[in-house]
Amino acid sequence: MTHSMILAGSAASNTEVATFWVLAVAAVGAALGMIATRRAVHCAVLLAVVMLILAAMYAMQGAPFLAFVQVIVYTGAVLMLFLFVMMIVGITAADSIIETIRGQRLFAGLAGIAMLVLLILVVGHATIGPAAPSGPRNSSLNVDGLARLVFTTYVFPFEVTSALLITAALGAMVLAHRERTTPRPTQRMLSTRRIASGRPTPLPGPGTYARHNAVDMPALLPDGTQSRLSVSNVLLGPIALGSPAIAAGPEPGGGAQTAGDEREEEQ
Amino acid sequence: MISPANYVALAAILFVIGAVGVLVRRNALVVFMCVELMLNAVNLAFIAFARLHGDLNGQVIAFFVMVVAAAEVVVGLAILTSIFRARKSASVDDANLLKY
């Protein structure tokens, strides 16, 4: 049903012109925002916008199968993977304004403009005629035709693709796997370490006030000062993350223990 | 009906924006995303040409590009996480041990 709706949309020419210009402007705007925004998360959201717009354009051009693959694979899988990695690497990671290479942005901009002029000249000079009359690609046989091509002409590349995917999955597992270098601490070792650390009790919870009970509100100590221990280091942002004790790497006891020790030292 | 040339021009613009992003940005994740943008732009051109010629070969190539891009992202992000574990940084400037 969706299939025929998309095809009906592509048949109406005026609709296509209007849709193209609206979507094209939005896509270029989102792409420009991608390279302008400093936060990686904003970048990912804008990339999702571009990808969804491209999916709509595939559908407009008689490629409904690829439109859905675009939504499922790119917007669904690839961008989610990006967001997961962003959670590992640090959601607050933002680019600094300072250029490490002098004039890098200027030259990158010039190179981009030169490339754009070149490509637009090539596209403008090429005689790109009107689209071919609707053949099997535009009908409901799109998936049939693609399947026929993939399993006849392109059957060898298709098989090689499976090898590529298996290799990529294995490679990702090998690269992301972390070998345990120290033995797993036992319950007794953990309790000994906790007593030796000078704070046998759990860390204080976040502050609860009349107006706020958010976890990033520090608890107040009896003398009125804020207890930094009561707020997770993750919520304190890049300053806490970049502190030397954490940057030095996790100790054998594990990252959480290191963070706790570091916070105690600051108290 | 809109000419395929418009789609190709849009693909060129998106490709250039992605290339500039790769050159300018230094967060490795953002660089990856800009590479994805470039791949997507090329896919758009493939599909526009498939429509221009009225056959499905371009769409099949775009399909293969998507598969390769997915594999590339998986391996690239795994490398990124392992570098982040070792260096505590996701900036492409900080991975410079092979310099000189």
pLDDT digits (tens, 9 = 90+) for B11-43: 999 999 999 999 988 888 899 999 999 999 999
Looking at beta carbons, which residues of chain A come within 8 Å of B44?
54, 57-58
Q: What is the DSSP letter of B84?
A: H
The pLDDT value given to residue A242: 44
Is residue B38 situated within a structural domain? yes
Three-state SS at B34: helix
pLDDT at A30: 95
d(CA B16, CA A109): 10
CB B54 within 8 A of CB A133: yes
Within a domain: B83: yes
Which residues of chain A are within 8 Å of residue B12 when distances are taken between CB atoms?
A: 116, 119-120, 123
Domain, as residue range, for B11: 4-87
CATH code of the domain in which B59 resides: 1.10.287.3510
Indicate whether A241 pLDDT > 50: no
**Residues of chain B contacting residue A169, judged by C-beta atoms under 8 Å apart:** 74
pLDDT band at residue B45 using 50, 70 and 90 as cut-offs: very high
The 3-state secondary structure of chain A reads CHHHHHHHHHHCHHHHHHHHHHHHHHHHHHHHHHHHCCEHHHHHHHHHHHHHHHHHHHHHCCCHHHHHHHHHHHHHHHHHHHHHHHHHHCCCCECCCCCCCCCHHHHHHHHHHHHHHHHHHHHHHCCCCCCCCCCCCCCCCHHHHHHHHHHCCCHHHHHHHHHHHHHHHHHHHHHHCCCCCCCCCCHHHHHHHHHHCCCCCCCCCCCCCCCCCCCCCCEECCCCCEEHHHCCHHHHCHHHHCCHHHHCCCCCCCHHHHHHHHHHHHC
The mean pLDDT of A238-251, rounded to a whole number, is: 43
C-alpha distance across the termini of chain A, in Å: 64
Q: Out of B56, B71, B88, whose CB is closest to A149?
A: B56
Query: Is B10 close to A27, i.e. CB distance below 8 A?
Result: yes
**A111 in contact with B, Cβ within 8 Å:** yes
- pLDDT tens track for A188-225: 999 998 889 888 888 877 776 656 667 777 888 888 78
Which residue is it, tokens 């296509």?
A16
**At a CB cut-off of 8 Å and minimum separation 6, what does A187 contact?**
none
For chain A, the structural domain boundaries read: 1-94, 144-169, 205-266
Please check whether residue A16 is in contact with residue B2, taking contact to mean a CB–CB distance below 8 angstroms: yes
Mean pLDDT, rounded, for B58-70: 92
Any domain includes B100: no
Q: Say whether A35 and B17 touch across the interface (CB within 8 A).
A: yes
Is the predicted pLDDT of residue A245 greater than 80, yes or no?
no
pLDDT for A221 equals: 81
Residue type present at position A103: G
Give the bridge partners for A220, in sequence order: A226
The chain-wide mean pLDDT, for chain B, equals 88
Give the pLDDT confidence of A83-116 residue by residue, as tens digits.
988 888 766 655 666 667 778 888 888 999 999 9
Give the residue from chain A lying closest to B3, CA to CA.
A130
Right CATH for A1-94 from 3.30.230.70, 3.40.640.10, 1.20.120.1200, 1.10.10.10:
1.20.120.1200
What is the pLDDT of chain A when averaged over all its residues?
78
Instruction: Indicate yes or no: CB of B52 within 8 angstroms of CB of A131.
Output: yes
Report residue A195 as tokens: 């007593």
Using the Cβ of B30 and the Cβ atoms of chain A, whether some distance falls under 8 Å is answered with yes
Q: Is B68 domain-assigned? A: yes
Nearest CB neighbour to B73, from listed A81, A136, A175: A81
In the DSSP assignment, the letter for residue B92 is: T
Minimal C-alpha gap between B91 and chain A (Å): 8
Tell me the pLDDT band of B80, cut-offs 50, 70 and 90. Answer: confident
Task: Return the higher-pLDDT residue of B90 and A190.
Answer: A190
Which of A98, A44, A91 lies closest to A236 in space, CA to CA? A91
- Domain membership of residue B92 (yes or no) is no
Single-letter amino acid, residue A19 = T
Q: Does residue A168 carry a pLDDT above 90?
A: yes
H-helix or E-strand spanning residue B60: helix B57-87
pLDDT of residue A1: 43
B9 vs A90, A123, A249: nearest CB: A123
Sequence-distant (6+) residues with CB within 8 A of A176 are B78, B81, B82
| DSSP state letter for B19 | H
What is the C-alpha to C-alpha distance for residues A238 and A155, in angstroms, rounded to an integer? Answer: 50
Percent above pLDDT 90 for chain A: 29
- Whether pLDDT at A251 is above 70: no
> Is B57 a member of any domain?
yes
Residues of B in contact with A9 (CB under 8 A): none
Q: Is residue B61 part of a domain?
A: yes
Number of structural domains (chain B) is: 1
Per-residue pLDDT, A101: 74
Alpha-carbon distance A257 to A238, whole Å? 19
Q: Note the Cα A80 to chain centre separation in Å.
A: 6
Of residues A53 and A176, the one with the higher pLDDT is A53
For B14, which of A27, A73, A74 is closest by C-beta distance? Answer: A27
Nearest partner of B25 among A176, A104, A172, judged by Cα: A104
